[in-house]
Amino acid sequence: MQAKYVPSAEIENRISRLQNQLIEAKIDAALIIYKMDLFYFSGTAQNASLFVPAEGKPLLMVVRDIDRARKESPLPEVAPLDSVLGIPDLVQEQYGRIPHRIGLELDVVPVRDYLRYQRIFPKAKIVDSAGIIKKLRMIKSFYEVAQMKRAGEIGKIVYEKGRDILREGMSEIEFGGWLELEAKKLEHEGLLRVRSLNYEAYTWHVLSGPSGSIVSQAESPMGGAGLSPAFPVGAGTRKIQAHEPVLVDFGICYNGYIVDQTRIYCIGDLPEKYVKAYEASCKIEELVLDGARPGASAAAIFEKTVQYAKELGYDESYLGIPGRKTTFVAHGVGLEINEIPFIAKGQNVFLEDHTTIAIEPKMVFSGEGAVGIENTVLITDNGVEKLTTCSEEILQI
Amino acid sequence: MQAKYVPSAEIENRISRLQNQLIEAKIDAALIIYKMDLFYFSGTAQNASLFVPAEGKPLLMVVRDIDRARKESPLPEVAPLDSVLGIPDLVQEQYGRIPHRIGLELDVVPVRDYLRYQRIFPKAKIVDSAGIIKKLRMIKSFYEVAQMKRAGEIGKIVYEKGRDILREGMSEIEFGGWLELEAKKLEHEGLLRVRSLNYEAYTWHVLSGPSGSIVSQAESPMGGAGLSPAFPVGAGTRKIQAHEPVLVDFGICYNGYIVDQTRIYCIGDLPEKYVKAYEASCKIEELVLDGARPGASAAAIFEKTVQYAKELGYDESYLGIPGRKTTFVAHGVGLEINEIPFIAKGQNVFLEDHTTIAIEPKMVFSGEGAVGIENTVLITDNGVEKLTTCSEEILQI
């Protein structure tokens, strides 16, 4: 476990970058209460709040468990906290006064909590610090990339094991369960975190044959049947057949960091139609890999993929069935599965050095099935590196 | 899948109960946007918002996927929605005007979304409808109890299978993965929903020997090592030994509904100390079962258990190690794992007919291990019924 602690230099660097941004945005202090932001800036995911003044020392205030937080976080100043009500006194002591403008993650903090913070800081103006934090978290350090590489290695082993496991007549959900078991043995952490009220991520996205063209709630080319209207996404009870594509979109989380990837299994030969569509998918991925350079426009890359899919003859199936297409081909990934940047329609942003994205050009044939490739890659000034390293052949059984 | 649709009479009844509460609270309409509330009142968990006026017909507004929402929801009025911005027009058309007081789930809705609703309903007052909804959801129908019973049956099979799987030297996380696989084969839906910003639930809570006394973020007698500071709860990489308690707290979700339960495995004989503590745990459970009647005070039951634990000689170990004890012995459960009511310190509420709670009196020995029983039960005027039916013997291997 020792090896999994976030290094002190990482935390210092992250805090210092946050402080620069706070100064620039004229925010006196950020109060970090959202778990994955807390983990990013403190190294612990215990029940705690982190006070980061634009200038001065941060203070980690811990409800439970303080001994563990002290071990996990390299931050020098850690204080026990009974409840949110105790925050102003601790802040006053640390900072010498109550900040005027306090940043809070307003994209995720519920209204009720926000009102409580307003009550305990009646004279302060609470502003949204989520944008700043998301941009900082977008840029990945070498340490973070190393965690993601390990997640990628786990994925490589798990997908390979899948070939020994998948048999005709096995249900999608059972196959998903087996893959999860193999991943857990290698310390996959099970949960894929999402920054959203209603969107849920999960690892058992196993879609066989026609399941691949079932649309659902998520902004994804394929939703899957799921197990019930209460959980209407991903693997269902359908029995997997021979000679049909089995699309497995399986996120792995190692030490908090996620990689996202998709591969296609098939029992026996995969019909030519799907093989060709899979090849087209890989070609579109190549196009994104070629274009994904710091400074490149996300919207422009997206439009190029749409154009290319058309040229390749996949206008109808690219990114979903007609009328239900998604409008992104890549999403940021790190501690969460839906980080920035998105390579998507109308995204007028420019890619940056040391960002990590999952590229997933997928093809869906209405009522028949889906195929596609997905890799998580690191974008740098020196080129693009794949962090998901499992074989890109169709995984035939 | 057909059999898993929520019956029309269920939805009608839930909407009608909500409307009564809205009238009583002088709220003109509720806008349901939180996924599990949406599923409860509409029968679908697609990406949608549900408008429920205090008087008049509800309208389900669906972003994605509308065909699926129409199939899953028995609500007669379903309209396509492009984005939140389209809601006022649809509401105006359905309701004939814009409501003055609109209820929103302010315990979970993020500030940013709230501000967006304020902008699209500039003249309306947005009030908190979460309390009303949580109270309605607390009372379980026969249909809901039937789903939970099925989840309980799955649990029975899974725990029994666990005896064939657990071997000396297996890691906690691997054992957790195996139990999940077995549960998934039986249509366990994998995710345990929680109504909270930062609290995460998961099924792989497998704690062996000293892991059982590791405290973590969660308000739980035992946290476990987890796999890293990023996910510091539940099963870790520790290898399970003979003659130590292996506490497995495993929630099962079937068709959206969760049951929570805990059993103890042991490879070989469990030392007398733990056997006796487990028996004391079961006795305290009996005390709660005897007291859990509609009309009973939750706080009074809790205090009785503390007193009884003392009498039995488990003052120190009951509900956690000294200084880290939790202050509840039971929590509500249904679509989410942290529903009301809580049988907890200072909870001045009275239990009601047809509520479902998970009772978990646990004993923790510092640095050594933890044991305890947990069952999900239905409280009715006619008595208490266990929904988790697996053997309560220590599961010896």
Strands B355-359 and B375-380: antiparallel
What pLDDT score does A1 carry? 41
**Whether the predicted pLDDT of B216 surpasses 80:** yes
Tell me: the pLDDT tens digits for A259-314? Answer: 999 999 999 999 999 999 999 999 999 999 999 999 999 999 999 999 999 999 99
Mean local confidence (pLDDT), A39-63: 98
Residue A363, domain extent = 139-396
Domain of A86, CATH number, reads 3.40.350.10
The tokens for A317 are: 């199936």
| Shared-domain flag, residues A42 and A133 | yes
**Whether the predicted pLDDT of B163 surpasses 80:** yes
Of A1, A45, A180, the CB nearest to B217: A45
Please tell me the distance in Å from B280's CA to the nearest CA on chain A.
27
Q: Any alpha helices (H) in A252-333, and if so which ranges? A: 272-291, 298-311
The tokens for B175 are: 């054992």
- Pseudo-torsion of CA A250, A253, A254, A256, nearest 10°? 160
Percent of chain A at pLDDT exceeding 70: 99
Burial class (CB in 10 A: 0-12, 13-18, 19+), A393: exposed
| Shared-domain flag, residues B152 and B258 | yes
- Asked if residues B213 and B369 have their Cβ atoms less than 8 Å apart, the reply is yes
The tokens for A31 are: 């109060």
What distance, in Å, lies between the first and last C-alpha atoms of chain B? 37
Q: DSSP letters of A164-221?
A: HH--TT-BHHHHHHHHHHHHHHTT--S----SSSS----S-EEEEGGGGG---SSSSS
For residues A382 and B334, give the distance between their C-alpha atoms in angstroms, rounded to a whole number: 52
- Asked if residues A200 and A137 have their Cβ atoms less than 8 Å apart, the reply is no
> Residues with Cβ < 8 Å from A62, sequence gap 6 or more?
A44, A46, A47, A48, A69, A70, A78, A79, A80, A81
Which of A389, A358, A220 minimizes the C-alpha distance to A292? A358
Tell me the residues of chain B between 334 and 363 that have a Cβ less than 8 Å away from chain A.
335
The DSSP letter of residue B158 is H
| Shared-domain flag, residues B116 and B193 | no
Residue found under tokens 């009996």? B286
Tell me the residues of chain A between 202 and 241 that have a Cβ less than 8 Å away from chain B.
202, 204, 215-219, 223, 225-232, 236-237
B110 touches chain A (CB under 8 A): yes
What pLDDT score does A89 carry? 98
- Give Cα separations from A221 to A317, A318, A323, B103 (angstroms): 9, 8, 11, 33
| Shared-domain flag, residues A347 and A323 | yes
Give the ipTM of the model, two decimals please. Answer: 0.97
Which of A192, A184, A188 minimizes the C-alpha distance to B176? A184
Total tally of structural domains belonging to chain A: 2
A116 touches chain B (CB under 8 A): no
**Whether the predicted pLDDT of B112 surpasses 80:** yes
Strands A101-104 and A125-128: parallel
Tell me: the pLDDT tens digits for B230-275? Answer: 999 999 999 999 999 999 999 999 999 999 999 999 999 999 999 9
- Among A137, A156, A178, give the residue marking a domain's end: A137
**Whether the predicted pLDDT of A201 surpasses 80:** yes
For residues B249 and B239, give the distance between their C-alpha atoms in angstroms, rounded to a whole number: 18
**Whether the predicted pLDDT of A375 surpasses 90:** yes
What pLDDT score does A219 carry? 87
Tell me: the pLDDT tens digits for A101-116? Answer: 999 999 999 999 999 9
What pLDDT score does A272 carry? 98
The CA-based diameter of chain B, rounded to the nearest angstrom, is 70
A47 touches chain B (CB under 8 A): yes
Residue found under tokens 């879609």? A207
Which of A357, A371, A350 minimizes the C-alpha distance to A270? A371
Number of other CB atoms surrounding residue B12 within 10 Å: 12
Tell me the pTM: 0.98
For residues A347 and A68, give the distance between their C-alpha atoms in angstroms, rounded to a whole number: 41
| Shared-domain flag, residues A242 and A187 | yes
Which of B193, B171, B166 minimizes the C-alpha distance to B253? B193
- Upstream peptide bond of A290 is cis (omega within 30 degrees of 0): no
| Shared-domain flag, residues B163 and B311 | yes
| Shared-domain flag, residues A115 and A184 | no
Q: Residue type at A2?
A: Q
Number of other CB atoms surrounding residue B134 within 10 Å: 18
For residues A360 and B396, give the distance between their C-alpha atoms in angstroms, rounded to a whole number: 47
- Among A137, A155, A175, give the residue marking a domain's end: A137
> Residues with Cβ < 8 Å from B96, sequence gap 6 or more?
none
Tell me: the pLDDT tens digits for A66-111? Answer: 999 999 999 999 999 999 999 999 999 999 999 999 999 999 999 9
Domain of B247, CATH number, reads 3.90.230.10
- Asked if residues B296 and B383 have their Cβ atoms less than 8 Å apart, the reply is no
- Among A112, A137, A162, give the residue marking a domain's end: A137
The DSSP letter of residue A270 is P
SS3 state of residue B371? strand
For residues B318 and B278, give the distance between their C-alpha atoms in angstroms, rounded to a whole number: 11
Please tell me the distance in Å from B300's CA to the nearest CA on chain A.
24
CB contact under 8 A, B253 and A231: yes
Angle A105-A124-A88 (CA atoms, 0-180°, nearest 5)?
85
| Shared-domain flag, residues B243 and B366 | yes
| Shared-domain flag, residues A125 and A200 | no
**Whether the predicted pLDDT of A178 surpasses 50:** yes
What pLDDT score does B1 carry? 41
Q: Which H/E stretch holds residue A91? A: helix A87-95
| Shared-domain flag, residues A308 and A195 | yes
CB contact under 8 A, B216 and A187: no
The DSSP letter of residue A139 is B
> Residues with Cβ < 8 Å from A235, sequence gap 6 or more?
A171, A172, A173, A175, A176, A204, A205, A206, A207, A224, A225, A226, A227
Computed over every residue of chain B, the mean pLDDT equals: 97
| Shared-domain flag, residues A273 and A344 | yes
| Shared-domain flag, residues A100 and A173 | no
- Upstream peptide bond of B128 is cis (omega within 30 degrees of 0): no
Rounded to the nearest 5 percent, the helix, strand and coil shares of chain B are 35, 25, 40
The tokens for A40 are: 């990013």
Burial class (CB in 10 A: 0-12, 13-18, 19+), A114: middle
For residues B40 and B62, give the distance between their C-alpha atoms in angstroms, rounded to a whole number: 16
Residue found under tokens 């029994």? B160
B-chain CB neighbours of A67 within 8 Å are: 215
B45 touches chain A (CB under 8 A): yes
Tell me: the pLDDT tens digits for A343-363? Answer: 999 999 999 999 999 999 999
SS3 state of residue A70? helix
For residues B127 and B299, give the distance between their C-alpha atoms in angstroms, rounded to a whole number: 29
A64 touches chain B (CB under 8 A): yes
Tell me: the pLDDT tens digits for A316-341? Answer: 999 999 999 999 999 999 999 999 99
What pLDDT score does B219 carry? 87
The DSSP letter of residue A191 is -
